[in-house]
Every structure is written in structure tokens, then in C-alpha cells.
Amino acid sequence: MKRCFDLLLAVGTLIFLAVPLLILALLVRLTSPGPVLYWSNRVGKGNRIFKMPKFRSMRVGTPALATHLLHNPDSYLTPIGSFLRTSSLDELPQLWSVLIGDMSFVGPRPALFNQDDLVALRTAQGVHALMPGVTGWAQINGRDELPIPEKVKLDVEYLQRHSFWFDLRILWLTLVKVLHRDGVSH
């Protein structure tokens, strides 16, 4: 049922947002040199690496690190990068990952390929068995502001509580958080 919901919501969202997606792609292309999309190596279900697309908000050549590990992360932003990140519009291309089955709408956010500490803690707690999500329980409870052990604690709570209704609650709370721009540090 979760996969059918993901597919229906992804197709519907892509149809509804087709024009805004094209406008955003054009803005990324016109405001900085480089590709429109950034394909990030991420850790998926079963710790399998997959490529996750995002609208490029950082300049070409930015180190592949979690943003909080960059020295002066704002210096790497493209002219519209801050807007894309604070509005979470940079995440919209992940609808592709949902369509092809690398991600779900709700689940733990996929770790970067080099976030060994996060991957190890999730694996030890069984969280690696879940499909990663565009949003998740940890996302709505702190997002970028959470230390890794707290993130994993919330991921474990999601593992124990996940259901269709809990996912709907998380999607609703995500919409509220995005509209208020809560929990975004970069």
C-alpha cells in the first residue's frame, strides 16, 4: 500500500508542479554555471548506494560533505541556493527517486555516502531496513539542528511506529514546517 501511495502522490505532484519545476530548473541554469541537478550519492535501503537528485544550490566543486561540516557554507551557495534550501524547493527532484523506487515520501532521510557514523548507528538499530524518505520523523523534529544520535533515536521511533496514518501525519507536519521554514540552518 505504501508503494502505491508513493507512486500516486509522486505522479500527481509532478503533474501539478510541472511548470514550477521547469521555472526552477531555468533559474538554476541562468544564475550559475553548471548542471541544473546535483546527483548526490546517498545510502538507501539495506545500505545500498543510490544517486539522489536535487536542484543544485551549491557551486560546482563544493566538497561532498554534510553542509554543517563545510567551513563557511554560505560561501558555496549559488545566487538562488539559499532560497532553494530554505524553501526546500531543492528537494523536489527527489520525486524521481520516489518514482523509481529508491525512496519513499516518508522514511529516514538518506545519509550521505560518507556519513559513516550515521550509517553505523542506523545499521546497529535496524533503521537501514527502511526505505529512505523525502521527509521523515527526524526531519519534522529538528531537521538540520539535530545531532546524529538524536536523529537516529527518532529514526528508531519511526521504525517502531511507522504506519500509513503516521506517514500521513508526518507529511502534514512537513508541509507546516516547510511553510514556516522551521529547522533549516543552511
Strand 111-112 with 37-43, pairing: antiparallel
CB-based contacts of 182: which residues, under 8 Å, 6+ apart? 143
Q: Find the largest Cα–Cα distance for the chain.
A: 45
Q: Where are the domains of the chain?
A: 2-180
Q: Tens of pLDDT along the chain (186 residues)?
A: 899 999 999 999 999 999 999 999 999 999 999 999 999 999 999 999 999 999 999 999 888 777 777 788 888 899 999 999 988 899 999 999 999 999 999 999 999 999 999 999 999 999 999 999 999 999 999 876 789 999 999 999 999 999 999 999 999 999 998 887 665 544
Spatial distance between the Cα atoms of 134 and 105, rounded to a whole number of angstroms:
5
pTM, full prediction: 0.88
Query: What is the spatial distance between Cα 73 and Cα 90, in angstroms, rounded to a whole number?
Result: 16
